[in-house]
Amino acid sequence: MRVKRRWTDEELTKVKESIGNMRFVDLGQIKVPEGVPEEFVGKPLKSAARKQKKERDFTPLFVAWGLPEPHTQFRFAAPRRWRFDYAWPGRSIAVEIEGGLFVNGGAGGRHNRGAGMRDDMEKYNAATLRNWRVFRFMPEQTAEMQLLLAQVFCE
């Protein structure tokens, strides 16, 4: 059974201060930092699936949030060819953008087929054994990504 860890008052204060220092523009229910291109705003799943072949670069978004610039396609387990989409090696933090989850009504895409899922599990387990913290998101989860990364980088 998994036990949820409660945040201390100090941790919550750090996260709130970090989020409070970010500049936001209200776009309905989603808050996006000022200056972030329209393409980074959450899109409906069908739109995300259509754009899946042309992968977006989230680096400008991370920088706009005040995070250090990440390494892209970072190889973490030589001689294996596994790579993280975005990584901060000094902090052993990685972000994976899981595209193709809703291609062809859920029937397509590498990440939701048996072999692809098995390969992803092997990769993420290897990362865990090497003390990496890997956070996985769909491309349209920018709001969730921002809040979680703000918490992680405040630790």
What pTM, to 2 d.p., does this model score? Answer: 0.61
The rounded mean pLDDT for the chain is 74
Q: At what angle do helices 142-154 and 9-20 cross, to 10 degrees?
A: 120
Of 52-56, 108-112, 113-117, minimum mean pLDDT range: 52-56
DSSP result, 9-63: HHHHHHHHHHHHTS-EEEETTEEEETT--GGGS---HHHHHHTTTSPPP-HHHHH
